[in-house]
Every structure is written in C-alpha cells, then in structure tokens.
C-alpha cells in the first residue's frame, strides 16, 4: 500500500489511498482532478444547501438562497467536463421539488447518464425521470443512452435504464426500444426480467400495436416461482387482455395456471418474505383476482374454472386487518363480474354487509362503493342493508355521504319510498350546496316514479322546494307546476300549503316563490272562496305578501315576472281590491327591467282600454299536458344538462295541430313552463281581432318582435327553424336556432343562446364569429356580457349567403370564469343544409 | 395503475413527487397544490379516500408526513394503502426508524427505494428483502466508486 499527501497552495489536503494495481494513467487522472479542484472552488454540498434553505426564515430569503445557487449551477454547466456535475444536479433536483424551475438541467442529466460512473448514472436517470416526461424533445438523445445501457453487463445499470424507460415511455421511445425490452423479457436474471415486463406493460399502454412482439415471451412469465416476475407478468397480461378481444380469448387458457398460483398462495404455509399480517403476498393475490375477473367475464367455462378458488379465498381470508379486507374486496368484485354461482353471489353481498358494519371508515366506503356497483345485479340482497346505508347519509365524512347518497337513490322502490324519503329530505336540508341541486332533482325523479298518490307526491315536491331553496333546478319548478295543473282534486289543498309557505321569508327559496305565485295566480279563488277554514285568506293579505315580493331586492327578476303575472291573474279572482292591482301595474310600468316594464304597461292598458275582455283573457289554464319534449328534458337534466330554450322545434307542431281557435287555446300553446310568454298574448291590440287564428298569429308576430322573442312566431309561421348545439364545453352551452330571415331570400338569421351550466358566473363574455369570404355577416349586440349560473344570454347573427355555398363558421369565445380567463376556438361545419 | 405519488408534510411542504403519467410542469404544480390543501383540510377521523376528477386519491398520514397516491377507477384503494404502508416499512428499514428529516436530506435515496418497489406505476417487487437488497447493492457500487475516485467528496456529500 502506498500512501502520500499532496499539499497545493496550502488550501486543500488530499489523502490518496490506492492499491498497487493502479497505473501511471490513474495517478495522472488523480492529479488532473486535483488541479481542477484548485482551479475551481468546491461547490456547496447538497446537505449544506438543504440546511441553508431550511434555515431561511422568510420566503424571500429562501428565494435568494435558491437563486444564488441556481445561478452558480448554471455557470458550472457552461464548463464542460465538470467533476461536480453529479452533485450540482442533485442540488437542482432538490430545488426543483421546492417548485423552482429546473429545466436547464435536462441536458446535464443526459451527460450524467452517458458517464461511465454508476453514481453519475443513478443521479442522471433520477433527474431524467423528474425533469423530463414524454412531452420533452430531448428524447432522441435519451433513447440512445437507454439503448446503450439496456445492453450493459451490469444488471443495475440495465435496471436503471428500464426504470427510466417505464417512467417516460413516449410513443417514439416505445417504438425504438420495444425490441430491446422484448429481449430482456427473456433474460434469465429475475431482477431484469420483472422490470422488462413492466416496461412492456407501459409500452403497450402507449402503443397498443406493439403488443404482438411481446406475446410469445409473456406466457412463460407465469411459470416462474419468483413473485416479482409473477406479479409483473400478471400485470402485463391484464393490460394485453384489456386491449384486444383476441388476446383475451388467447389468455383464457391460462385460467388454470392462475388458479394454481392463487391456491398455492393461500394454502402454502407461512412465508416470511411475502407475508403481510398473516396474508401471503396480497399484492400478487389482488393482481391475480383482477385478471381472473377479466378472463371470466361473459365466459361460462372460464367462470366455472374459477368458482371454487374464489369461494376458497372468500372463506379462508382472515378479515380483521386492512390487508384481509383488501383481498375480500377484490374477490367480491370478481364474483360479481364473472358468471358465478348464485350461492357465491350471496356470500359476496354478505361480505359487503359485514364491511358496512365495520368501524373502519375506509372499509365502509369501499362497501358502499361496491354495493353501488352490484345493486343492479341483486337488489334484494343489498336492500337488507338499507338502514345501515341510510345511516351513512349522516356520516361526517363527505366521501362516505356521497357514496351513501347514490346508493340510497339506487335502492328506492315503491315499498320503501316513504321511509327512504324521510331520510333523504333530512339529508337535503343539511346537505352541502354541492349536493343540493342533484339531490333535489333525484328526489323529484324518484317521487315521480314511485309516488302512490298525488297528494303525497305534491307534499314531497313542496318539501324539496323548501329544503333545497335556491339550489333547486328549473326542472323541478316546471314539473311541480305541471303536476299541480294536472291534479284537479288537489289544487285547493296545495294552494293553501303554498300560500302558507309563501307567507314566510322566501328570499332564499326563489323556485318555491315561483311555483307558489303561479299556483296562487291560477287557483287563488280556492284561497278566497273557502269560508269554512278558520284561517280564511283575505284579499288584503295576498296583496300585502305580493307587494313584499315585488319590492324585495332579494327576489330575482324571474320571480318578479312570475309575481306580476300572478297578480294580473288574481285581478280576475279578486272582487274588491282590483284597483290596488291596477296601481301596482302602473308603478311597475316604469320598472328598470325591460321585460317587467313592458308586461306591466301592457297589463295597465288592459285595465284601461279592454277591461271587458280581461276576465276571459285571464281565465284558468286548462291542465298542462306533458309533452314528449318535457319528458326528454327530465332525462337530460339527470345528466347534468338543461335545455335552456323554453320552446323548441318538436314541441310546437304538437300544439299547432290542436287547431287554435280561441285565445284560451292560445294560452295553452304559449303557457306551460314558459310562463313568460303568456304575458304577450294579453297584449292590448290582440283582443281586437282575436277572432281568427291567422290574424292572431300576425299580431303575435308583431308583439314577439317587439318583445324580443322572435323565434316563436317564425317558428309557427314558416316552421323552418332548426336548432343545433354549436358548443358544449366547460359548462358553457351554445345553441344556434337558425331560420330564414324574413324579407331577404338568402339570409339566415341565427339566434345564439349561450347558457352557463356551471356554479360560477361568466363575465366579459365575448362571442366572435368568422365566416368564409363569400358570406356576409351582421352581428347584433348581445343581450349582456355576464352570464350568471344557469342563465343565458342571447345574440342574433344574420348570415347572407349569395353564393349558395355550404356555410362554415369559426367561433371564438372568451370569458372570465371564476376569475380565470377562458378562451376557446372552434369550427362549425355541420349546419343543416337548408339554411345555406 | 398509479398515476402519481406525493409525499408532503403537515405544513404542506412537498417532500417527494413521483409522476407515472406525463403532465406539463404547470399542471403538476396545480394538482399538487390542490391536493395538499384538500387533504390537509380533512379531519383525522375521515376515510382515506377522495374522489378527485376521474381519479381516486388514497392518502395516509404517518407521523408528520402524508403519503398520497392517485389511482384509476378500477384500482383497489385498499391495496393502495398497503402499497403506501409497504413503502413506509421499506423507508423505515433502510434509514432505521425513518423520520421526515431523513427523507429531506436523503430524498434521492427515498426515490431509489420507491423505484425498486414500483415501476411505471405498478408493483414490481413484493418482497421487502429483495427491494432492500437491490438498493443496498447499488449503494455499494456507489461507495466503491467513491473510493476509486479518491475523493469521498465526489459523491453527493
């Protein structure tokens, strides 16, 4: 042994110990390195940097430490052949984790990977995995490095390369290196083989057509004893089966192998290497159970082959620890998915029932989740656990409540609806806002489906309107009105209930107010005529409540519109206070909101000039018929969408065939859930010539144009309207209603309706359109630039197509959503041919 | 398949991040921030699972560190808890009763251990012994190099 010390400039003392095999070249290298160390000061050590950063008291201080070090690291990167590169990259990776930019280290990582030293490679590959992903363009370089290292004689270098390939696996890289991976998949070395199997899995995930080259080497993976190879092999086969039906068919043959492996696992004695709390290799068991599920699905033979082992796992697994539940959970999923025996299914649901009673929240969550998946297969078995499930609605954990809520809706039937509803309404009252909208709509749907009598159904709707307040969706309002209108016998009951509800503070229950005012407007005479009730309602009482509603700043414009209309209807139900109503109309004729102003002035006119016609115009509406379109709407709303347009193409022809004869029928046509429109029918001039259908329509034409509802009239008069959804993304839905523009042969008028289906307002909404040069485009100003949640704005476009070519359009949207600017660009090519 | 794993402290500081799917840096930061705030806001008695976009989030707290994994809808969330636990056991064995500081000052080691347990978001080795053996063998390779290079300082220091 030779040992000496060199002292250079008195700065650094270097101790060198080396064995006699070293030659002169090595000594030279050592001296060169020493010289370089002198030339450049030693960089800060990783440990010291971390200490310095942790010592920083403020964010600014930390930033300055990091910036100084980053600047230094950058400067060292400029020097080629730095001996400190490895340390600098390690520091950079720490800095990167703190959230600072570190992309400038990417190329340096590649240099480290190319170094022959293992330390360099280890840090280099770590850096590559952290700093680059498949979006980077340095891939070609790294692919070459990987190719070299995949051929290295050192297993750990091959291992590093495989690990990095598995992490990045861009499509190009996958194509370039698939054959290397396939070679390593056949390696005798277990350490390399298992990593190669997972690399193959990632490659297939990215580029499914590369599956073929791995197929031959895959099956033999299952004949290994090594658990690493087994689990990675099963993972690889699972991925292959999910990608192609042929492969799935091919691998059905391995079911007996899988069954044997699983059996060995659960029957073999204690093996310390793979034991987890008394369960033998749960990781492998779960993977096998999952693959069995995929192979047994829709295949009787495969299912038969695995029935026994599933029963064995289900009964033999000890369930007192998380790991036992893990296995049971996976087994239940498999039993439910394959064509299993009925006895086994009962066993599975019972396991879930036991889960539900568990103290551990995680287990309960999993149980609820799985019951939801299995409820359609065996409802009665799940029903047995109903009360436990309903109790979970009161859990303090939102994850559990969410699951329990979904499951409760799935369990409702005509027998249990009363009990379940009590719980659900209780839940609705206290629910977080995020639940209220969907929960109330679901309750309404369930009540509709399973209600035994109308009175109970109406009570439910009323309770939903009270409990969910402003979170009730518009569909609930219209379906409630619909139901009340249909059920003649219950009208006097419900009008009282609603009147009682309306007398309380309803500012946070706008939908309730809307329903109540509609009903009182229509059936207010029930309130006034009933002399028996001790609580007889006086006209003054109603007027007082209505005045409060109309003048309250908390009520929305829509609610006020409902109220104004209702009040007008009441003018023909009242006997003494009609003048008060007239005064209110006159006051509101100067309301700041255009719609309200117009209605009120029209109503005032009605009082003044056509008072003799007023009672017949304000007659009660005939029961609303549920049209096909409305039924559709209900189902659409379940999917979270709403049809914003109150009138659409298919609804009208139905009404039209009714052959409109008098103003009453017209009210039907315009009534229903689009209450706003029936205001227009009571326009003053209309009464002069209400005799014939055609005249009336002409008049309507006039008034609709005036009122800003041009689509309806054109719809009736020429039936050429067509609607299309032009855009539906991020909760913004834009519907185009196209129709020929009257008076100009080649011009199409497009009404744009932009609806906000999110919970946040969209502000600074800007809608821009570009059309090909052969078209001329006129854009009218929009009705607003802010779309509040579940409302919409309208804008009209006119496109003149003199060249008769197909219409194409490019639209650009920009708006602020919850403070974030959103921009989008899209092209529309699927315009109906008749509008061009 | 696991989509990513995050380790963060009770103070919300990120200690380790492993991404098995590609996202731009900006998105990664946003996801990390969102999840850390959501999880830290949850009470200790709540369940370990969260539904987040189309992913399931499984998290568990060990002393001052949160371990958080995102998995796909078809994955077994209870097994993910076992994977987290396995990783903690490995760290514990490797460092000898591990604490947050060990992971801060030796973050690269924590990554090396994770890379021997999982690859591409799937479990590659179910034997603790084998994982630790592989890590130790590679550590040894590094040490040998450090001696050859005559400067212990050449390592990470």
Tell me: the pLDDT tens digits for A279-288? 899 999 999 9
A653 shares its domain with A763: yes
Question: Could A119 and B142 be called an inter-chain contact, meaning their C-beta atoms sit closer than 8 Å?
Answer: yes
CB-closest option in B47, B124, B145 to A118: B145
Chain B residue whose CA is closest to A130: B18
Decide if A362 and B81 are in contact by the 8 Å CB cutoff. yes
Give the closest-approach CA distance of A222 to chain B in angstroms.
14
pLDDT in tens, A345-355: 888 988 988 88
pLDDT over threshold 90, residue A670:
no
Q: Which of A399, A403, A406 to mutate to test the interface with B (most CBs of B within 10 A)?
A: A399
Across the interface, of B16, B123, B155, the residue whose CB is closest to A119 is B155
List chain B residues with CB under 8 Å of A240: none
- For A411, the token pair is 């369990």
Q: Do B124 and A273 touch (CB under 8 A)?
A: no
The Cα A680–Cα A706 span in angstroms is: 10
Give the nearest partner residue to B124 out of A15, A232, A282, using CB atoms. A232
| Nearest C-alpha neighbor of A128 from the set B33, A114, B146 | A114
A361/B45 touch (CB, cutoff 8 Å), yes or no: yes
Check CB contact under 8 Å for A399 and B129. no
| Res A2 pLDDT > 50 | no
Residue A153: is its pLDDT beyond 90?
Answer: yes
| Nearest CA distance, B46 vs chain A (angstrom) | 6
Among B137, B155, B102, residue whose Cα is nearest residue A160: B137
C-alpha distance from B39 to closest chain A C-alpha (Å): 12
Looking at the structure, tell me whether residues A747 and A787 fall in a common domain: yes
A232: chain B residues, CB-CB within 8 Å = 119, 122, 124
Say whether both A653 and A725 belong to one domain: yes
> Which residue has better confidence, A617 or A652?
A617
DSSP state of A647: S
Going by C-alpha positions, the residue among A316, A200, A302, A317 that lies closest to residue A258 is A302
> Do residues A461 and A480 lie in contact, with contact meaning Cβ atoms separated by under 8 Å?
yes
- Flag if A231 and B123 touch (Cβ within 8 Å): yes
User: Taking CB atoms and an 8 Å cutoff, what residues of chain A touch B81?
Assistant: 322, 326, 362
- Expressed as residue numbers, the domain containing A478 is 417-617
In a domain, A794, yes or no: yes
When CB atoms are compared, the residue of A129, A232, A325 closest to B78 is: A325
**A458 lies in the same domain as A595:** yes
By C-alpha distance, the chain B residue nearest A116 is B145
Which carries the bigger pLDDT value, residue A33 or residue A712?
A: A33
Alpha carbon distance B56, B36 (integer Å): 15
CA nearest A332 in B: which residue?
Answer: B76
Find out whether A174 and A209 touch, Cβ atoms under 8 Å. Answer: no
Domain with residue A689: its CATH number is: 2.60.40.1230
Instruction: State the nearest Cα–Cα gap between B43 and chain A, in angstroms.
Output: 9
Return the top range by mean pLDDT from A335-339, A434-438, A621-625: A335-339
Cα separation, A407 vs A370, in Å, equals 10
Residues of B whose CB is below 8 A from A326: 76, 78-79, 81-82
Nearest to B157 among A47, A118, A167 (CB): A47
Note whether residue A483 is domain-resident: yes
Contact: B138, A54; criterion CB under 8 Å? no
Which of these, A214, A236, A219, A161, lies nearest to A192 by C-alpha position?
Answer: A161
State the residue for tokens 């903690």.
Answer: B88
Question: Based on the domain organization, do A610 and A658 belong to the same domain?
Answer: no
Tell me which chain B residue has its CA closest to the CA of residue A88. B156
pLDDT of A478 reads: 87
Highest mean pLDDT among A55-59, A721-725, A766-770, A815-819: A55-59
Question: Rounded to a whole number, what is the distance in Å from the CA of B147 to chain A's nearest CA?
Answer: 8
Interface test with B, best of A1, A43, A121, A133 (most B CBs within 10 A): A133
Report the residue from B47, B137, B142 with minimal CB separation from A400.
B47
Q: Which of A130, A166, A281 sits opposite B119 (nearest CB)?
A: A166
A256 pLDDT exceeds 90?
A: yes
Q: Are residues A547 and A472 in the same domain?
A: yes
Residue A298: closest CA among A338, A331, A241, A263: A338
Question: Under an 8 A CB cutoff, do B125 and A194 touch?
Answer: yes
Number of structural domains chain A divides into: 3
Identify the closest residue of chain A to B73 by CA–CA distance. A369
Q: If you average pLDDT over residues A12-33, what whole number do you get?
A: 59
pLDDT band at A136 (very low <50, low <70, confident <90, very high): low
The residues, any chain, with a CB within 8 Å of residue A730's CB and separated by 6 or more, are A758, A817, A822, A824
**Residues A689 and A752 both lie in one domain:** yes
Mean local confidence (pLDDT), A102-109: 88
Least confident of A25-29, A472-476, B124-128: A25-29
User: Alpha carbon A530 to chain centroid distance?
Assistant: 50
Does the residue A820 lie in any domain? yes
C-beta of residue A276 within 8 angstroms of C-beta of residue B82: yes
- Residues of chain A contacting B115 with CB distance shorter than 8 Å: 126, 129, 163
- Per DSSP, the residues of A456-469 read HHHHHHHHHHHHHG
Find the residue in A nearest to B115 (Cα).
Answer: A163
Nearest CA in chain A to B110: A126
Distance from CA of B94 to the nearest CA of A (A): 16
Contact yes or no for B76 and A133 at CB 8 A? no
**Nearest CB to A133: which of B19, B127, B151?**
B19
> Could you give the ipTM of this predicted complex?
0.95
Are the Cβ atoms of B22 and A228 closer than 8 angstroms? no
Task: Identify the residue among B104, B123, B149 best suited for mutation to test binding to A, counting A beta carbons within 10 A and taking the highest.
Answer: B123
Higher-confidence position of A315 and A646 = A315
Show residues of chain A in contact with B126, CB under 8 Å. Answer: 227-228, 231, 274, 281, 283-284
Q: Which of A107, A133, A159 is the last residue of a domain?
A: A133
Is A249 part of a structural domain of the chain? no
A421 and A550 co-located in one domain: yes
Same domain, A662 and A545: no
A531 and A658 housed in the same domain: no
Interatomic CA distance for residues A451 and A149, integer angstroms? 70
SS3 A724: strand
Q: How far apart are CA A661 and CA A522, in angstroms?
A: 22
Which of A117, A133, A149 terminates a domain? The answer is A133
Mean pLDDT of chain A: 81
The span from the CA of A155 to the CA of A264, in Å, is 30
Report pLDDT for A189.
95
Subunit contact A202:B128, Cβ cutoff 8 A: no
- What stretches of A186-319 show up as alpha helix (H) in DSSP? 190-206, 211-218, 227-243, 245-251, 255-267, 282-296, 300-316
The interaxial angle of helices A454-468 and A491-503, nearest 10 deg, is 20
Task: Write out chain B residues lying below 8 Å of A18, CB-based.
Answer: 150
Q: Do the Cβ atoms of B81 and A396 come within 8 Å?
A: no
A542/A680 same-domain check: no
d(CA A394, CA A391) in angstroms, rounded, equals: 6
Query: pLDDT at residue A386 above 70?
Result: yes
Closest Cα in chain B, distance from residue A501 (Å): 37
Distance from CA of A120 to the nearest CA of B (A): 9
Q: Which of the residue ranges A181-185, A494-498, A591-595 has the most confident prediction, judged by mean pLDDT?
A: A181-185
Residue A222: inside a domain: no
Structure tokens at B76: 């077994």
- Asked, for residue A2, whether it belongs to a domain, the answer is no
Q: State yes or no: pLDDT of A411 exceeds 50.
A: yes
Instruction: Note the pLDDT of residue A643.
Output: 37
- The shortest CB-CB distance from A231 to any of B22, B86, B126 is to B126
Residues A513 and A660 in one domain: no
Choose the final residue of a domain: A101, A133, A165: A133
Inter-chain residue contact B104 with A167, CB threshold 8 Å: no
Q: Does residue A3 form part of some domain? A: no
Q: How many A/B residue pairs have CB atoms within 8 Å?
A: 198
Residues of chain B found within 8 Å of residue A400, distances taken between Cβ atoms = 47
Q: Nearest-CA residue of chain B relative to A273?
A: B127
pLDDT at A662: 39
Residue of B nearest to A396 (CA): B46
For residue A674, the model assigns a pLDDT of 41
At A44-103, the pLDDT tens digits run 889 999 999 999 999 999 999 999 999 998 888 887 667 788 889 999 999 999 999 988
What is the average per-residue pLDDT within A556-564? Answer: 91
Does A432 map to a domain? yes
User: How far is the alpha carbon of B131 from chain A, nearest alpha carbon, in Å?
Assistant: 10
Burial A124-150 (b: 16+ CB within 10 A, else e): bbbbbbbbbbbebeebebbbebbeebb
Indicate whether A277 pLDDT > 50.
yes
The CATH number for A467's domain is: 1.25.10
Cα distances from A540 to residues A505, A574, A577, A579, B64, in angstroms, run 18, 10, 7, 12, 67
């Amino acid at each position: 042994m030779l040992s000496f010390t060199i002292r250079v400039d008195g700065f650094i003392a270097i101790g060198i110990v080396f064995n006699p095999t070293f030659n002169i070249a090595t000594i030279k290298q050592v001296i060169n390195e020493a010289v370089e160390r002198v030339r450049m000061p030693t960089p800060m050590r990783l440990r010291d940097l971390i200490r310095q950063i942790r010592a920083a008291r403020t964010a600014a201080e930390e930033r300055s430490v990091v910036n100084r070090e980053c600047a230094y690291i950058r400067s060292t990167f400029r020097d080629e052949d730095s001996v400190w590169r490895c340390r600098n990259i390690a520091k950079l990776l720490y800095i990167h984790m703190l959230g600072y930019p570190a992309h400038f280290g990417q190329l340096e990582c590649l240099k480290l990977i190319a170094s022959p030293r293992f330390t360099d490679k280890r840090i280099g590959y770590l850096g590559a995995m952290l700093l680059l992903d498949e979006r980077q363009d340095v891939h070609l370089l790294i692919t070459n490095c990987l190719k070299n290292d995949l051929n290295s004689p050192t297993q750990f270098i091959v291992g590093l390369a495989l690990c990095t390939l598995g992490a990045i696996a861009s499509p190009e890289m996958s194509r370039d290196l698939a054959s290397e991976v396939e070679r390593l998949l056949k390696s005798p070395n277990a350490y390399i083989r298992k990593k190669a199997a997972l690399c193959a899995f990632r490659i297939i995930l990215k580029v499914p057509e590369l599956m073929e080259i791995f197929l031959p080497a895959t099956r033999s993976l299952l004949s290994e004893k090594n658990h690493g190879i087994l689990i990675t092999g099963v993972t690889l086969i699972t991925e292959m089966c999910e990608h192609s039906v042929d492969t799935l068919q091919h691998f059905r043959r391995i079911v007996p192998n899988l069954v044997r492996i699983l059996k060995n696992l659960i029957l073999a004695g204690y093996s310390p290497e793979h034991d987890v709390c008394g369960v033998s290799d749960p990781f492998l068991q779960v993977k096998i159970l999952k693959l069995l599920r995929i192979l047994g699905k829709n295949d009787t033979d495969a299912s038969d082959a695995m029935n026994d082992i599933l029963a064995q796992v289900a009964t033999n697994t000890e369930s007192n620890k998380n790991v036992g539940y893990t296995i049971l959970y996976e087994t239940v999923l498999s039993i439910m998915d394959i064509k299993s025996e009925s006895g086994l299914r009962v066993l599975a649901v019972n396991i879930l029932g036991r889960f539900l009673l568990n103290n551990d929240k995680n287990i309960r969550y999993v149980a609820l989740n799985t019951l939801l998946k299995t409820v359609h297969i065996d409802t009665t078995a799940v029903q047995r656990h109903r009360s436990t499930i309903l109790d979970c609605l009161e859990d303090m954990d939102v994850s559990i409540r969410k699951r329990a809520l979904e499951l409760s809706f799935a369990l409702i039937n005509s027998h249990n609806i009363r009990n379940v509803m009590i719980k659900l309404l209780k839940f609705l009252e206290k629910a977080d806002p995020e639940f209220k909208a969907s929960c109330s709509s679901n309750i309404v749907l369930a009540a509709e489906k399973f209600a035994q009598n109308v009175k109970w159904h109406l009570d439910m709707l009323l309770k939903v309107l009270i409990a969910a307040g402003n979170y009730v969706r518009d569909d609930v309002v219209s379906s409630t009105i619909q139901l009340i209108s249909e059920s003649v016998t219950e009208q006097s009951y419900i009008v009282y209930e609603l009147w009682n509800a309306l007398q309380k503070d309803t500012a946070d229950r706008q939908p309730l107010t809307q329903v109540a005012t509609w009903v009182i407007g229509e059936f207010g005479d029930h309130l006034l005529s009933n002399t028996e009730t001790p609580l007889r309602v006086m006209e003054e009482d109603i007027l007082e409540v209505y005045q409060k509603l109309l003048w309250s700043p908390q009520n929305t414009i829509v609610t006020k519109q409902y109220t104004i209309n209702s009040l007008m209807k009441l003018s023909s139900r009242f006997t003494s206070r009609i003048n008060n109503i007239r005064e209110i109309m006159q006051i509101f004729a100067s309301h700041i909101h255009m719609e309200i102003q117009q209605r009120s002035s029209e109503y005032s006119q009605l009082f003044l000039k056509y008072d003799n016609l007023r009672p017949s115009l304000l007659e009660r509406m005939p029961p609303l018929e549920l049209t096909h379109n409305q039924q559709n709407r209900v189902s659409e709303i379940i999917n979270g969408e709403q049809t914003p347009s109150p009138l659409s193409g298919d609804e009208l022809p139905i009404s039209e065939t009714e052959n409109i004869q008098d103003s009453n029928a017209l009210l039907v046509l315009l009534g229903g859930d689009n209450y706003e429109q029936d205001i227009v029918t009571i326009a003053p001039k209309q009464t002069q010539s209400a005799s014939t259908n055609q005249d009336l329509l002409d008049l309507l034409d006039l008034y609709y144009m005036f009122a800003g509802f041009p689509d309806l009239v054109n719809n009736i008069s020429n039936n050429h309207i067509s609607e299309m959804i032009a855009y539906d993304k991020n909760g913004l839905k834009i519907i185009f209603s196209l129709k020929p523009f009257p008076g100009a042969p080649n011009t199409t008028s497009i009404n744009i309706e932009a609806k906000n289906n999110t919970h946040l307002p969209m502000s600074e909404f800007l809608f821009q359109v570009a059309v090909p040069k052969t078209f001329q485009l006129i854009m009218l100003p929009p009705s607003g630039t802010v779309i509040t949640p579940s409302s919409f704005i309208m804008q009209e476009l006119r496109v003149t197509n003199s060249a008769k070519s197909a219409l194409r359009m490019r639209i650009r949207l920009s708006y602020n959503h919850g403070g974030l600017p959103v921009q989008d660009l899209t092209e529309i090519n699927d315009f109906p041919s008749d509008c061009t | 398949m696991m989509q990513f794993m995050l380790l963060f402290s009770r103070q919300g500081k990120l200690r380790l991040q492993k991404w098995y799917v590609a996202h731009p840096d900006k998105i990664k930061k946003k996801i990390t921030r969102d999840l850390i705030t959501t999880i830290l806001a949850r009470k200790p008695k709540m369940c370990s699972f969260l539904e987040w976009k189309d992913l399931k989030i499984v998290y568990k707290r060990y002393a001052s560190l949160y371990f958080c994994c995102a998995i796909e809808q078809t994955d077994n969330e209870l097994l993910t808890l076992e994977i987290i636990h396995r990783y903690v056991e490995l760290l514990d064995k490797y460092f000898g009763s591990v604490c947050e500081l060990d992971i801060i000052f030796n973050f690269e080691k924590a990554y090396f251990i994770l890379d021997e347990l999982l690859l591409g978001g799937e479990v590659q080795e179910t034997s603790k012994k084998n994982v630790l053996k592989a890590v130790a063998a590679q550590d040894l390779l590094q040490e040998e190099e450090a001696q050859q290079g005559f400067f212990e300082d050449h390592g990470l220091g």
